[in-house]
Chains A and B, each alone.
Chain A
Amino acid sequence: MSDITLNTAAAGVPEAAPRSAPLTQIGLVGWLRANLFSSWLSSAVSLLLLYLIIRWAAGFIEWGIVNAIWSVPNNQTQACRDLKGTGACWAVITEKHRFMLFGTYPYEEHWRPFLVCLLFIGLYVVSAMRRFWRWELALIWVAVLTLIGVLMWGGILGLSYVPQERWGGLPITLILATFGLAFAFPLAILVALGRRSSLPAIKVLCIMYVELIRGVPLISLLFMASVMFPLFLPEGMNIDKLLRAQIAIILFAAAYLAEVVRGGLQALPKGQYEAADALGLSYWQKTGFIILPQALRLVIPPLVNTFIGFFKDTSLVLIIGIFDLLTAGKTAIIEPAWQGFGVEVYITIGAIYFVFCFAMSKYSQGLEAELNRHRRR
C-alpha cells in the first residue's frame, strides 16, 4: 500500500488536502455508534443501563455527599441516626479512622505504624521498578523489614516497647501479606521444582506437602496454628500469635503458588530443557537462566491472581483474635454510640483493599506487556 501511495505522489498527481474521516466514523460519536448504538437492541440496552447507572450514581452522591454528616461532637450520633439512612454518617470514619488503621496501638505512638505503612508502600514501589531489579534489592528488603520490626516493637532507640497483641489495623494486613508472599514465593518455586524432580523422595515430599495443604481450608490451618499448636508447647512458653498465623499463611500460600509455578514449568516446550542440557548447563544454571525466567513470565496473571487473593485472605486472622484492617473496622462499630454505621465503615475498608489490589493488578498488566513484548507482532 505505502509503495503505491509513494509512487502516485512521485508521479506528480495533485495531492488533495488531507481530509479527516467523517465525524460519524471517528471520535466519540463514531465510538458510540460502533459500540453502544449499533443496532436497535444494543441502543435499548445502552439506554437502559445508562439510566440505571445515572440513577444509582445520583442516589449514591445524594447519600454519600449531599446528605452526609462528616463529623459530630463528642460521640453524639443522634444527628446521624435522625437521617434514617438517607445520608451517610462519615462521622464514624472521622471518629474511628485511627482505630481502623492502627487498632489498639498506643494512641500517642501512632506515627510509628503510620511510618511502617509508608515504608511498606515505598518498598513495593521500589521493588516494582525494573531498574532496581538487582541483588542489592534483597539487602533493601532486609533493611526495611528490620526497620519495620524496630518501629513496631520498639524497646530500643528510645522507642517504648509495644507488645504484639496491641498491633492492629493496616500494618497487620501489610505485614501478613508481605511477609507471607515474600517467604511463600521462593518456597513455592522450590516445591514446584521438587514436584518435577526425578528424585522420588523429593518428589513425593513435595506432592504430599502441596496436596495436604491444599486439601484443607486456610481457616483450619489458622485454627491449628492458634488453637492446637500451643497445647504442644510447655506452659509459659508462647510463640507469638501473629508469628504462628504468619507461618500458617506462608505454608498455605506456598502450596498454591507452587501449583501456579508448576503450570509455568509445564507450559515450557521440552526443547528449552533439551537446549539448555545441550549447552552443558548444570541443573541450577539451567533452572536459573533458562527455565524460570520463561516459566514465571508465562504465569504472571495467575501469580498476581493468587497474590491478590492472599492479600484479602489475611483478613481470616480475625477468627484467632488478631485485629487486621477488616477486624479493626468491625470492632470500631461495636461501641453502642456507633453501632449501625457498618456500611460507611465497610465502604472505607473496601476502598483501602481496592487501592492495593487494583495497584497490584495494574502493575501486573504493565509487567506482562513489557515482558511479553517479543511475542507481539
Chain B
Amino acid sequence: MMMPSGRFLTRAMAGAAILATALAAPAPAQQAPQPAPAAAAASNTFDAVRARGTLICGVNTGLAGFAQPDSQGVWRGFDVDYCRAYAAAIFGDPTKVRFVPTTAQNRFTALQSGEVDVLSRNTTWTLSRDTSLGFDFTGTNFFDGQGFMVKASTGVKTAKELDGATICVQPGTTTEQNLTDWARATRIRFTPVVIERLEEVVQAYLAGRCDAYTTDVSGLAATRSAQQRPADHVILPDVISKEPLSPLVRQGDPRFADVIKWVHYMLLSAEEFGITQANVQQMLQNDARPEVQRMLGRGGDLGRMLGLDNAWGANVIRAIGNYAEIFERNLKPIGLQRGPNALWTAGGLQYSPPFR
C-alpha cells in the first residue's frame, strides 16, 4: 500500500532525489544517466541487468547451507549457487553477480525498491506475497516444511510415536499453530514447552526438558549439525507443513522471471539426464538425445527464445553443476536428505517441464 503513494511523492521530490543521487555511492548503475521512469524500469530488469553487466542478488545474511560467507569472505550456499547459475545463464560468467545480504525485515523492500534484481533467500511462497506484495515466485527450489528432531537414544522413528511427548517449540510463528493443527488432526496428545529465543529452546531440548524439538527441517538440520555429536539426534521423516522456498523477482517483468524460472528447470533437467559439471563438455559433443542437445544449445533455438545465448544451459552446468551437485555441495554437509526434493523420477517433487 506504500508503493503507489510513494511513487507519486517521488516525482514531487525530484529535486531532493537529485541531491541524494549526488550523495549516493558511485555504484556503476548510478553512473548511468538519470534513472528511467519507474514504470519503464519495472518492466525492464532484464535489460537493466544486461546493461549493468552484473546481476544483484539478495541473499540471507547467514544461514548454514543456504547462504553464508566462508573464511575468505566468499559467499557459499544453496541460494548463492543459484545466483551464480543466473549469472552464468545471463552473462556466461558465474562471477558476474553481486551479493547483497538481506535480513528477514528488509528483504522485500530491497526487491521492491530495486536494490536487488532477484531475491534468492529461503523465502516461502505464499499467495499474499505473490499477489499483494507484487512479486513473482519463480518455482520452488527447496521444499521445506516443519519437522521434528528427537534424540536417537529414544528410538522414535516416526512422528506418530510422539503421542504423550513433550515438544519444544518457539511461539509467535506459524510453527506453534502447525503443531497444534497436526496434533489435532492425528489425535496425538502432547505437552508443548514454549520458549521464545532460539538458543534457549535448543538448550531446553538438549537438556532433556522436552522429548522433541520442532521447527522447519532446514533449521533442524542446521541445529543438528552444530551439536557435538550430530549422530545423537534424528530428524524424523514426517513433515507437517508446507514451506516451499522459491526465488522471487518483481512482478511485471515476465522475460526476467522466465530466465530465473528456466535456470532452475535447467538444473533439474540436467540432473534428470545425468549431465554434470564434469561431463557437460562430453555430453555437449557426444550425447545424441535430442532434449540434451536442445538444453546444451546444440540444437533448437531455446536460448534465443529466452533472450539468452544458446549455450546458456551448458554455461550454467559448467559453472556450478546440476541440482544434485548443488544439493550435495551445500545441504548434505548440514545433514539434509533429499526427501521431497528428490526428482519426480525418484519419488520426490522436483519436476521440470520439457525443454522443447
A residues bordering B, Cβ < 8 Å?
Answer: 81, 84, 95-96, 98-99, 102-107, 153, 155, 161, 163-166, 168, 223, 226-228, 230-243, 318-323, 327, 330-332, 334-336, 339-340
Contact = CB atoms under 8 A, between A and B. Distances in A.
A157 to B, nearest CB: 14
B186 interface: no
Q: Is the interface of B mostly helix, strand, loop or mixed?
A: mixed
A327 B71 CA distance: 14
Interface string B35-73: 111100110000010000000000001111100111111
Contacts of B98: 163, 165-166
A374 B68 CA distance: 57
A373 B153 CA distance: 71
B17 A327 contact: no
B227 interface: yes
Interface centre among B23, B38, B63, B109 (most CB of A within 10 A): B109
User: 7 nearest interchain CB pairs?
Assistant: A339-B226, A230-B113, A240-B25, A104-B73, A236-B41, A331-B62, A334-B62
Nearest to B102: A321
A331 B61 contact: yes
A234 B228 contact: no
Nearest to B75: A104
A226 B25 contact: no
Interface residues of B toward A: which range? 35 or more
Interface of B: 2-3, 6-7, 9-11, 13, 17, 20-21, 23-30, 35-38, 41-42, 48, 61-65, 68-75, 98-103, 105-106, 109-110, 112-115, 222, 225-228, 333-334
Given A165-B98, A339-B225, A340-B228, A234 B71 contact: no
Contacts of A339: 64, 222, 225-226
Contacts of B17: 233-234, 237
B303 to A, nearest CB: 27
Contact of A103 (B27, B69, B105): B69
A107 B100 contact: no
Secondary structure dominating the interface of A: helix
A235 B42 contact: yes
B284 to A, nearest CB: 32
A320 B105 contact: yes
Contact of A234 (B37, B64, B110, B115): B37
A236 B114 contact: yes
Given A232-B10, A233-B113, A321-B100, A335 B70 contact: yes
A117 to B, nearest CB: 16
B26 to A, nearest CB: 7
Contacts of A164: 25, 27
